[in-house]
Amino acid sequence: MNDRPPDRRRPRLTVIRDRIRRLADQARPAPPAGSSFAVLRERGLLPSQPPEASTGSAQEVRNERIVVGVNALATARGAGVLITYGLGSCIAVILLDPNSRVGAMCHYMLPDSTQDPRRSASQPLMFGDMAIAQLAEVFTRRGGDPRNAEAYVVGGASLSGMGDLFDIGGRNARMARVTLERLRYHVRGHEVGDRTSRTASLDLNTGAIVVATPGLAPRRLR
């Protein structure tokens, strides 16, 4: 299988697979109670029930939970909750236009696409520089105004003791800062670094941005 000639259909297959995975993510049951997620749910920041096959009631739209998988991105407008789980050294970047209530979130694993041209061609969302550029694009396309936009950066944890070898978290966070600056997005809040795994959510009903860590109380970035 490894010596197959480069296949031009590959990127499309990857896109389709990512789409299937996103759908699968959305169908996944809500995490059970008894954790910091329960606190989020109590405060109405997470829906109490997983989204059902939509019958289109206003309540369901309000609570629709869009799970952003690894190396993926999503947008929403006016209602719904964008959430991504388990950011280790990965980074979530959130863009929010509070006027139009357009939000976008990506979750990438590695900093720099130029380090791996082969993979970045088939999975651009895996790399910070390309993921954030695409995030800005879909955010604008969905109706977000870059001049009103607020950016938030979450994740980038690191293991200790080995300097650069396991400091992908630090490099991921730097790439977020540099890329957002280059695209002229203002970083209004962040929680990056240290050694904890995080879950980040943006509730478009309220504009709340919350970071949760297993075993700790959730924090509000906005």
Partner 1 sequence: MTREAIRHTIALRQYAAAAAVELPIPPAVMARMVALMDDPKRDAYKIAEVVEVDPGLGADSLRIANSAAFAFRNPVTSIRQAVVALGERLMRELIARRMRAILGRPELPGYEMLNEGLWRHSIRCAAAAARLSSRTAVSPGIAYTAGLMADIGKLALAQPLRERWDEVRARLEADADCAFDVLEDELLGADHAEIGAEMIRRWTLPPAIVAAVAHHHHPSAAPAKHRAIANVIHVADLVAMQIGVAAGSDGLWYRSDERAIAALEITPAIVEGLMCDVESDVAHLEELLSDPSA
For binding to partner 1 (CB under 8 A), which residues are involved? 17, 20-21, 24-25, 27-29, 31-32, 34-37, 70-71, 85-90, 109-110, 115-116, 119, 123, 126, 155, 157-162, 164-166, 168-169, 194-197, 213-216
Dist. CA 22–CA 27, nearest whole Å: 9
CB of 9 to partner 1, least distance (A): 14
Is the Cβ–Cβ distance between 102 and 147 less than 8 Å? no
Closest CA to 48 of 57, 56, 38: 38
Q: What angle do CA 210, 212, 216 make, to 5 degrees?
A: 130
CB of 159 to partner 1, least distance (A): 5
Nearer to partner 1, 80 or 169 (CB): 169
Nearer to partner 1, 78 or 159 (CB): 159
Is the Cβ–Cβ distance between 219 and 132 less than 8 Å? no
Nearer to partner 1, 100 or 213 (CB): 213
Nearer to partner 1, 60 or 167 (CB): 167
Q: What is the dihedral of CA 106, 126, 22, 13, to 10 degrees?
A: 140
CB of 214 to partner 1, least distance (A): 3
Nearer to partner 1, 63 or 89 (CB): 89
CB of 36 to partner 1, least distance (A): 7
Residue 127 — φ and ψ, nearest 5°?
Answer: -115, 135
